[in-house]
Amino acid sequence: MINPFVLGLAFTLALASGSAAAQKKYDPGATDTEIRIGQTMPYSGPASIYGEVGKTQAAYFKMVNEQGGINGRQIKFLSLDDGYSPPKTVEGVRKLVEQEQVLLLYGMFGTATNTAVHRYVNAKKVPHLLLLTGASKWNDPAKNPWSMSFFPDYPSEARVYAQNILETKPNAKIAVLYQNDDYGRDYLQGFKQGLGAKTKTMIVAEASYEVTDPMVDSQLVQLQASGADVLVSFSTAKAAIQTLRKVHGSGWKPTHYMAQGAALIGAVFNPAGPEKAVGVISTAYAKDPNDKQWETDAAYLDWLAFMKKYRPEGDLRLGSNVYAYSSARLMVDILRACGDNLTRANVLKQAASIKAVQLPMFLPGVVVSSGPQDYRLIRSLQPVTFDGKRWNKLGDFVTVF
Amino acid sequence: MNAFVSQLLAGLATGGIYASLALALVVIYRSTHHVNFAQGEMAMFATFITALLIEAGWPYWAAFFATLVIAFAMGAVIEALLIRRLRTAPVLSIVVVFVALLVILHSLAGWLFGYAIRPFPSPFAETSWYGGSLLSPHQVGAIAVTFLMLALVYVFFRFSPLGLCMRATAENPVSSRLVGVRVNRMLALGWGLAGAIGAVAGMMIAPVVFLDVHMMSGVLLYAFAAAVLGGIGSAPGAVAGGFIVGVLENMLGTYVVGPELKLSVALVLIIGVLVVRPDGLFGKAVVVRV
Amino acid sequence: MSAHGHSNALIPERAARRLGPVSMRRRGFIAAGLLVACVLPFMLPSYMLFQLTMVMAYALALLGLNLLTGFNGQISLGHGAFFALGAYAAAMLIELAGWPYWATLPAAALLGGVVGYLFGRPALKLDGVYLALATFALGVVTPQLLKYKGLEPWTGGSQGIVLDKPDAPFGLPLNADQWLYFFGLAVVLLMFLVAHNLLRGAIGQSLIAVRDHPIAAEAMGIDKARVKSITFGISALYTSVGGALSAVAVQFVAPDSFTVFLSISLLVGAVVGGLSSLSGALYGAVFIQFVPAFAEQVSKAAPWAVYGAILLVLMLVWPTGVAGGVARLQSWITSRSTS
């Protein structure tokens, strides 16, 4: 006969270890005291301006650490430079996963760089989350379940512009300026899809430029000569500034649609001269930090305080800093929701089941949500137009598909 | 027809940018027989210094001339401390030193000045008095400044005794020293001059292109091509080369092959010219004693 | 380049002496090195093996560049173009034509050799600064050409081509990284051996003769033009093979991987390692692969400034490169031991 005491002890032990096992589960990168997050970013090279995103994300994590961490665990954020060179991204990611043993990869920038590692991270089952790239390939839960981006994808945004033109100016003649890389080309493709059958008749001129080109004047002269009355520019900040300046100076007055990445008051419109940007149409999902309408907004003031305290050398004009702040906040929320179950699978599960979160620096009404079949986190965009001082709504929110 | 003229003028405007940096390259070449790959970054760095001075409240022209002095000093110091030590080193080692300079200046600029894009003021009027909107007054003014610098450089090298000393130093330092030319001083002077010219180039370019760390990265190849096309030792050649490259690139991009291939085709053409005329369009054939 | 105080040659002629038959001591060193290299894969973590495989790819590329600049006195600021050529050739053959990865290396070699020779023929008329421009231009336009819309169905455009990593054949108990390391090692050994013999033979001697005394060489009957273009071809061949190996290791090619900065890095690596020396290629490859990461650890704020500073110091102290410094160290040791 089994000693009841032994039985009781065995039973208690089993219960204790069983519940302990149910309480804390860790994959490499997570312990009782620490969560390791890895990232590569272009801190050098032609895309170095996006390095600012990484720095702000690091500052946000520092703030969270000072406020007690995530469920008592400190974040160890390892961000390596890849110079926007895919072989270096591969090297960095392999080092982070294999040597530094990070729990997940977060917020990496660029389509080519992320493409270089996505097969590897999906094979190794490492969460590859909140990527800073709008390419449409990242919403693929069937084939690449571990990769998820945090950007409304470029083709969807372009389709919003196409839709708007079809509705308001069905007989327009359109000229397109686009950056000659996956950013610009993805936009152009989406735009053409949005115009559908009328693409050939409506687009009268297309011109591309390289991100290393010093000027885009020649392309703009060519576009103006086509007689178009609508200009769509899928460019980044520098070319956008030059475009605004040149178009204004040349006397051409097209209706100007601008990709969201370049439609920033502080970083683009002010350097060019805000009066040159009057009437520009774009889409927005976040608050422009230089838009005076948010001056007394509580969320804006929080963000400003954060920047002043944790990123004093950060440039307050850059939209990147708003984006980075929001993305880092979301990452912290996801990890918090994991509780003590810090396995990679659970991190992914939490990331794929976000329920209607209103991030403070996002426009009221733009909620972030995800599902296991649909990884697109930001699904609505607000068309906006600039009046020389602030962004005004141009119609209602558009749900992107 | 109007579009064609616009493209031509746009090409001249871009060409002016290439011409001014090419001029700095040629000055260094004439005084030291090296092509300074870091010239663009030196110009960018100097322009940032001007921007900071202006932001601190200095009036434009005060900042302009202060920067010229600083850029001159920077160039001379780099020569004295670095390049001089490598006088007897293999040519490629010197090229690598230029690359190192380029990388250091670029990285320092990013660290000190940040990566955001800034506007840069122009000393020329905002609106044109000649009525046309094809070229902004600044672009016209910048081209004029380029020609002014060209004239100064040409006169300096051709007619002034100091210029003669510098050319002698580059051609034959040993003999020059024997006739009493202070070789070290001449080399430092050459670098200082090039630094100052580069700074002016940067300050003329920045209002159009906007100032950021990458401002000159795309220009270097064109300036190099312009200098070589015109004849690497010829200052008027460099300026002519700059305008030719600018217009050629624009015309090819608009009318012939489209913007994606224009660079490749332009370079093929330039190299084709060099194969036919190996000393460049205006260069003098150098005869070397065996 | 014109006469002005220092040597016409791109490297000091002294270095050419080192190309004699390999001494016993040297053979010993090489054997020891090989032994270490074979043991490493079982001691190091996988991602380090990946880094070492990249070193091998760069070593091949630098060997090619060395042959051109060090041994033949021409300059190239655009060798990244041949690296890209080999990488894309490998990627396209694997992805579009289903070739096995090991067959792509000879294909890349052939392609590189032919394209290099064709580029070399007109380019040989240019010298010094003009050749520098032509090759620099090649390096700058490479990413643009790779992105060109017309070639997109084959090159994958800006998105590039993703490859799978090959597994060890014949069921060998090696993981993919270990296998690729050994494969790369075998390729490197073979190519270095070929280069060594090449340089000691007739072609090698003509290469060096054309570099050092072009007029005398022509007077002796060497066809300068032919030698120069052949050298370009061989140089491009080696760099192409390096590119192909790198494509298989990284499992990805995209235009962004082959910018002009790659060409500049290759030149920097070749010079730092030591031109006109086969071991220089190895030292240079180690420099290119590891120094940037090291610089990042020294300074997060301006890592490339640290890299540049290291470069400056190296050039000031050892203008003939690490191989030159090592050679001097060796002769200093031998002089010490015999005195």
Q: Is C102 exposed, middle or buried (0-12, 13-18, 19+ CB in 10 A)?
A: middle
User: What does the pLDDT read at residue A395?
Assistant: 87
Does residue C150 lie within any of the structural domains?
Answer: yes
Chain A residues whose beta carbon lies within 8 Å of the beta carbon of residue C246: 87
- Of the pLDDT bands very low, low, confident and very high (cuts 50, 70, 90), residue A3 is low
Indicate the average pLDDT of chain C: 85
- Chains in contact with C, where contact means 3 or more Cβ–Cβ distances below 8 Å, are A, B
Query: pLDDT at residue A13 above 60?
Result: no
When CB atoms are compared, the residue of C45, C54, C256 closest to A99 is C45
On whether any CB of chain A is under 8 Å from the CB of C51, the answer is yes
Say which residues have a Cβ less than 8 Å from residue C142's Cβ, sequence separation at least 6: C78, C80, C81, C84, C255, C258, C259, C260, C263
With an 8 Å Cβ cutoff, are B271 and C302 in contact? no
On whether any CB of chain C is under 8 Å from the CB of A214, the answer is no
On whether any CB of chain C is under 8 Å from the CB of A213, the answer is no
With an 8 Å Cβ cutoff, are A210 and C50 in contact? no
- Contact yes or no for B14/A215 (Cβ under 8 A): yes
For A273-285, letters b (16+ CB in 10 Å) and e give ebebbeebbbbbb
Query: pLDDT at residue A324 above 90?
Result: yes
Query: pLDDT at residue C11 above 50?
Result: no
Higher pLDDT, B265 or A284: A284
CA dist., res. C281 & res. A275, Å (int)? 57
User: What does the pLDDT read at residue C201?
Assistant: 86
The total number of structural domains in chain C stands at 1
- Contact yes or no for C239/C112 (Cβ under 8 A): yes
In chain B, the residue whose alpha carbon lies closest to the alpha carbon of A270 is B119
- Chains in contact with B, where contact means 3 or more Cβ–Cβ distances below 8 Å, are A, C
For residue A216, the 8-state DSSP code is: -
Chain C residues whose beta carbon lies within 8 Å of the beta carbon of residue A110: 256
With an 8 Å Cβ cutoff, are B171 and C4 in contact? yes
When CB atoms are compared, the residue of A80, A97, A112 closest to C256 is A112
What does the pLDDT average to over B196-207? 92
Does residue C214 lie within any of the structural domains?
Answer: yes
Chain C residues whose beta carbon lies within 8 Å of the beta carbon of residue B290: 215
User: What does the pLDDT read at residue A9?
Assistant: 59
DSSP assignment string, A46-92: TTGGGHHHHHHHHHHHHHHHHTT-BTTBEEEEEEEE-TT-HHHHHHH
With an 8 Å Cβ cutoff, are B259 and A217 in contact? no
On whether any CB of chain C is under 8 Å from the CB of B170, the answer is yes
With an 8 Å Cβ cutoff, are C271 and B96 in contact? yes
On whether any CB of chain B is under 8 Å from the CB of A49, the answer is yes
Does residue C213 lie within any of the structural domains?
Answer: yes
3 state DSSP class of A399: strand
Chain C residues whose beta carbon lies within 8 Å of the beta carbon of residue B173: 4-5
CA dist., res. C122 & res. B237, Å (int)? 23
On whether any CB of chain B is under 8 Å from the CB of A218, the answer is yes
CA dist., res. A88 & res. C320, Å (int)? 28
Chain B residues whose beta carbon lies within 8 Å of the beta carbon of residue C319: 86, 89-90, 93
Instruction: Count the residues in chain A.
Output: 401
Token readout for C250 is 């990284």
User: What does the pLDDT read at residue A401?
Assistant: 62
Proportion of chain C above pLDDT 70, given as a percent? 93
Query: pLDDT at residue B14 above 70?
Result: yes
Name the amino acid, one letter, at A162: A
Query: pLDDT at residue A136 above 90?
Result: no
CA C67-C70-C73 angle, 5° bins: 100
On whether any CB of chain B is under 8 Å from the CB of C225, the answer is no
Chain B residues whose beta carbon lies within 8 Å of the beta carbon of residue A268: 117
In chain B, the residue whose alpha carbon lies closest to the alpha carbon of C303 is B107
pLDDT by residue (tens digit) across A212-257?
Answer: 888 898 899 899 999 999 999 999 989 999 999 999 988 889 999 9
With an 8 Å Cβ cutoff, are C250 and A119 in contact? no
Mutation target among A115, A124, A179 for the C interface, most CBs of C within 10 A: A115
CA dist., res. B152 & res. B159, Å (int)? 10
Least confident of A79-83, A306-310, B139-143, C56-60: B139-143
DSSP assignment string, C73-107: ----S-THHHHHHHHHHHHHHHHHH---HHHHHHH
Going B103 to B104 to B106 to B111, the CA torsion angle's sign is positive
3 state DSSP class of B190: helix
Chain A stretch 123-182, residues whose beta carbon is closer than 8 A to a beta carbon of chain B: 180
On whether any CB of chain C is under 8 Å from the CB of B223, the answer is no
Query: pLDDT at residue B193 above 50?
Result: yes
With an 8 Å Cβ cutoff, are A116 and C252 in contact? yes
Does residue C141 lie within any of the structural domains?
Answer: yes
Does residue C310 lie within any of the structural domains?
Answer: no
φ/ψ (deg, to 5) at A183: -60, -60
CA dist., res. A263 & res. A235, Å (int)? 10
CA B240-B243-B248 angle, 5° bins: 120
CA dist., res. B284 & res. B237, Å (int)? 11
Chain B residues whose beta carbon lies within 8 Å of the beta carbon of residue C215: 290
pLDDT by residue (tens digit) across C22-49?
Answer: 677 777 878 888 888 888 888 888 889 9
N-term to C-term CA, chain B: 54
Chain A stretch 264-323, residues whose beta carbon is closer than 8 A to a beta carbon of chain B: 267-268, 271-272, 313, 315, 317-318
User: What does the pLDDT read at residue C88?
Assistant: 95
Going B287 to C1 to C7 to C10, the CA torsion angle's sign is negative
User: What does the pLDDT read at residue C121?
Assistant: 84
Find how far residue A322's CA is from the centre of its chain: 10
Query: pLDDT at residue B68 above 70?
Result: yes
With an 8 Å Cβ cutoff, are A222 and B7 in contact? yes
Residue that has been written with the tokens 């660029």 in this structure? A110
Mutation target among C256, C266, C297 for the A interface, most CBs of A within 10 A: C256
- Of the pLDDT bands very low, low, confident and very high (cuts 50, 70, 90), residue C5 is very low
Containing structural domain, residue C40: 32-272
CA distance A295 to chain C (A): 32
What does the pLDDT average to over A261-270? 90
Name the amino acid, one letter, at A357: V
Query: pLDDT at residue B161 above 50?
Result: yes
CA dist., res. B263 & res. C77, Å (int)? 17
CA dist., res. C241 & res. C239, Å (int)? 5
N-term to C-term CA, chain A: 68
H helix count then E strand count, chain C: 14, 2
In chain C, the residue whose alpha carbon lies closest to the alpha carbon of B104 is C305
CA dist., res. C266 & res. B229, Å (int)? 26
In chain B, the residue whose alpha carbon lies closest to the alpha carbon of C274 is B93
CA distance A313 to chain C (A): 12
Does residue C114 lie within any of the structural domains?
Answer: yes
Query: pLDDT at residue C54 above 90?
Result: yes
Which helix H or strand E contains C242, and what residues bound it?
helix C224-250
- Chains in contact with A, where contact means 3 or more Cβ–Cβ distances below 8 Å, are B, C
With an 8 Å Cβ cutoff, are B170 and C6 in contact? no
On whether any CB of chain C is under 8 Å from the CB of A45, the answer is yes
3 state DSSP class of C162: strand
DSSP assignment string, A335-372: HHHHTTEE-HHHHHHHHTT---B--TTBPTT--B--BT
With an 8 Å Cβ cutoff, are C157 and A182 in contact? yes
Q: Where are the domains of chain B?
A: 2-121+131-276
- Contact yes or no for A95/C310 (Cβ under 8 A): no
User: What does the pLDDT read at residue A7?
Assistant: 58
Higher pLDDT, C198 or C86: C86
- Contact yes or no for C7/B90 (Cβ under 8 A): yes
With an 8 Å Cβ cutoff, are C261 and A119 in contact? no
| Closest to A45 in 3D by CA, of B101, C310, C259, C297 | C259
For residue B34, the 8-state DSSP code is: -
- Contact yes or no for C122/C130 (Cβ under 8 A): no
In chain A, the residue whose alpha carbon lies closest to the alpha carbon of C305 is A44
On whether any CB of chain A is under 8 Å from the CB of C260, the answer is no
Q: Name the CA radius of gyration of chain C, rounded.
A: 20
| Closest to C51 in 3D by CA, of C297, C290, C291, C296 | C290
Query: pLDDT at residue C75 above 90?
Result: no
User: What does the pLDDT read at residue A21?
Assistant: 47
With an 8 Å Cβ cutoff, are A241 and B2 in contact? no
- Contact yes or no for A225/B3 (Cβ under 8 A): yes
Query: pLDDT at residue C3 above 80?
Result: no
